[in-house]
Structure 1
Amino acid sequence: MDINGVSAVVTGGASGLGAATARKLASQGAKVAILDFDLERAQSVAQEIDGYAVKVDVGDAASVEAAIAGVVAAIGAPRVIINCAGIGTAARMVGREGKLSVDLFERTIRVNLVGTYNVMSYATRAMLDLPVMEGGERGVIVNTASAAYQDGQLGQSAYSASKGGIASMCLPLARELAQSAVRVMAIAPGLFETPMMETLPQEVTEAIVRNIPHPARLGFAEEFALLASQIIANPYLNGEVIRLDGATRLPPR
């Protein structure tokens, strides 16, 4: 798909992977809507790229429905949906003195997995009103999983489960939306230089960096954005999860 001139929705676009992706798509001529819980930072990025910003709680269906309605009114129905919104959490299932993490598990699933599904649902419904473009495509969805969906670390059961759900629904949704000429892909990044990385203990970060074969460093948000744009451009990429991690495998701790 040629991104020039089309409308795109990027969740979590106020910072990190989402902000880099919003900038990348805008540089290619897209009209970008940034959906984020942090409206002030979203507006800052939107002003930079001549985009549109709206506050949203992705885990709340009513909030998402209203946000997508605003996007359609402001820049038109999206042909591109990039889901980067999410939270990084860490807790043992049974911690000290028997403390449980059920509440954290439910919140993580709500934001990361249900939030992704909410945005896809309302944004895709708007997308399906658009005609098929020359070349046979109507739209592209790119979701953000994580390398942790395959090799999550100790304490990452909630986060890994949420990202595993995103990875697992990639193929069935690609099959479902094929009849509507919409592709569905997912990117599973390793450890990147983003605000979420700051939630990890320093010793964990250092251990992971030592475990990255090549290039032996953290990923750059711009590299995630580059892959997202390449997925949009390549019409034969569909129903797949791509790891973007420098060939690393996360250690147990």
Structure 2
Amino acid sequence: MTGLRKRVTVGFLSIVCLLFFSGMVSFLELSHLSRDTGEILKANKRNIELAKEMLDAAHEQNIALIRLSVFGDRLCDSLCRKSMERLENTLLVAQSEALEKSFLDSLAFATTELRLVTDNYLAFGGAARADSPAALRPDSLGGRWYSEEYQALYGRLTAAIKSYMTSTQSSLVPRAEQMKKNAYRAVTPVLISLAVMIAIVLMLFYFMSIYCVTPIERMNKGLGDWLSFRVPFAVKGDLKDEVLELKEKIESLINISKQTKS
């Protein structure tokens, strides 16, 4: 590969290599960014699903206990136990999947309190209520028990579930900050490569003008002057490689032409 071709090839290959390198780095960073975004959205969706499941179970258990304690509907006994188990099982799943388990401490405590009060009522208050002649009539004692003891615990439980649903978002903040850094890292190589490519293109333009375009223009003008006015062919400049060879060959042809005519 000769000099001029080599310089042009090296210049354009440098641009291609920079484009390839910056593209690969940006692709990797964007892949990381996409994966982190997907994980954050998935975790957020999962937390909301678990919180909804616990709220549904707590609400179902609350309705069943109202019908049991106030209206004496013994058919709700099994539903009450089943809803409580559903709530506890969902809490166990949330604890196993949580990145920061401290957010679930208050929820676990509220669930345990509700379980103890519910079991105590089902074991003693509910059994005594079932044996009474007024088992199918509204019970003022059961209503007072619900409003004075159970309702406050139920309120604390639902508040803890809602707090869990919102507080888990704070654990996503560091990952969101990391995503922001990944976005900058994905863009930075492209910007650096763009600046370097602009510099290379300007340098390539400069050297092409100095060593190729300008000498060819001068030789073209000198050859035209010689053909038209017999002005001596004298091209000055810093000529190299193939351009210098071309100048020397033109001078040789002119000398041969002069010798032939003489």
After TM superposition, the score normalised by the length of structure 1 is: 0.26
Structure with bigger RCO (C-alpha 8 Å, 6+ apart):
2
Q: Higher helix share goes to which structure? A: 2
User: Which structure: larger Rg?
Assistant: 2
After TM superposition, the score normalised by the length of structure 2 is: 0.25
Q: Higher strand share goes to which structure? A: 1
